[in-house]
């Protein structure tokens, strides 16, 4: 079900800055967002006449039953992202792991990764997660629209897009030139389009840095292959 053409997403988590940032970003992307503060409100929302295409559920809302509930509420038309702050022993940020074909476990991820995953689930033709691998960047970047280059940083990177940290993120739809030093391969530069943004005032809880998600445009075969190999871990190209 949609409201005025909008896709419904349910966020089930205790009220707070983390949920506020996620709700704001998804709302700016055009989704109809419903929130649930408790397990009871989650049940009420799922029993309503709204067809939620994606449910983003934080494990702290349901405790030890969270994984079982996530598996149970996922269907071919309603995908679930179960967000957990827990990490496996000795593990670092893990990203997304399958619970079932209809539910994902998000380990240690932050708002940008959750939004990317929700978009993948909504826009994939068959509703399946597209599994575009992303790696954490942590290296410098620069971008410009018309004037001088602005210094930022690559927060995460896939073969066809990135999230660029910047204190003054350009508006959605802006075309810009992006360049950064790909470790071990020198500088790459190409045009991009801003697909979503997190403003400096929307980073409460430090779950998302300010910046923009960008889609790479007009990549050469060489650059596309270089990015793909780097992200997939083949660094010897």
Final residue of a domain: which of 98, 123, 148? 123
* Same domain as 15, residue 118: yes
Residues 141-163 pLDDT 10s: 999 998 889 998 888 788 888 88
Report whether 153 contacts 113 (CB < 8 A): no
- Among the residue ranges 45-49, 58-62, 194-198, the one predicted with the least confidence is 194-198
* Same domain as 177, residue 98: no
* Same domain as 95, residue 6: yes
Domain range holding 27?
2-123
Report whether 83 contacts 58 (CB < 8 A): yes
* Same domain as 188, residue 105: no
**pLDDT the model gives residue 202:** 66
Q: Please give the Cα distance from 16 to 18 (Å, whole number).
A: 6
Sign of CA dihedral 32, 156, 71, 43: negative
Give the DSSP letter string of 23-62: HHHHHHTT-EEEEESSHHHHHHHHTSS--EEEEEEEGGGT
Report whether 25 contacts 198 (CB < 8 A): yes
* Same domain as 103, residue 144: no
**pLDDT the model gives residue 6:** 78
**pLDDT the model gives residue 136:** 67
Query: Average pLDDT for residues 205-232, to the nearest whole number?
Result: 78
pLDDT at 197 over 80: no
Give me the CATH number covering residue 55.
3.40.50.2300
Report whether 51 contacts 77 (CB < 8 A): yes
List the alpha helices (DSSP H) in 196-235. Answer: 221-231
Residues 59-89 pLDDT 10s: 999 988 898 899 899 888 899 999 987 754 4
Give me the CATH number covering residue 174.
2.40.10.220
* Same domain as 44, residue 22: yes
pLDDT at 224 over 70: yes
- For 71-101, b/e burial (b = at least 16 CB within 10 A) is eebbeeebbbbbbbeeeeeeeeeebbeebee
**pLDDT the model gives residue 94:** 55
pLDDT at 207 over 70: no
In this predicted model, which residue has the larger pLDDT, 46 or 231?
46
Question: In total, how many domains does the chain have?
Answer: 2
Report whether 170 contacts 145 (CB < 8 A): yes
* Same domain as 54, residue 10: yes
Which of 151, 116, 155 lies closest to 133 in space, CA to CA? 116
**pLDDT the model gives residue 10:** 97
**111 token code pair:** 């708002």
Residue 216: inside a domain:
yes
Report whether 207 contacts 110 (CB < 8 A): yes
């Amino acid at each position: 079900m949609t409201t005025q053409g909008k896709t419904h997403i349910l966020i089930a988590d205790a009220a707070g800055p983390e949920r506020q940032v996620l709700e704001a970003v998804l709302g700016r992307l055009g989704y109809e967002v419903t929130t649930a503060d408790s397990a009871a409100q989650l049940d009420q929302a799922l029993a309503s006449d709204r067809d939620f295409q994606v449910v983003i559920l934080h494990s702290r809302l349901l405790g030890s039953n969270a994984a079982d509930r996530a598996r149970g509420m996922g269907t071919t038309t309603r995908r679930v992202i179960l967000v957990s702050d827990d990490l496996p022993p000795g593990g670092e940020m893990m990203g997304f792991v399958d619970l079932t074909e209809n539910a994902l476990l998000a380990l240690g991820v932050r708002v940008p990764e959750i939004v990317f995953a929700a978009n993948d689930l909504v826009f994939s033709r068959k509703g399946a997660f597209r599994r575009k691998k992303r790696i954490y960047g942590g290296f410098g970047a620069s971008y410009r629209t018309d004037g001088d280059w602005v210094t930022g940083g690559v927060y995460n990177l896939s073969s066809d897009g990135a999230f660029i940290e910047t204190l003054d993120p350009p508006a959605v739809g802006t075309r810009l030139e992006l360049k950064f030093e790909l470790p071990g391969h020198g500088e790459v530069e190409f045009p991009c389009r801003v697909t979503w943004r997190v403003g400096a005032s929307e980073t409460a809880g430090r779950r998302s840095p300010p910046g923009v998600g960008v889609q790479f445009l007009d990549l050469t075969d060489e650059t596309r292959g270089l990015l793909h190999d780097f992200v997939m871990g083949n660094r010897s190209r």
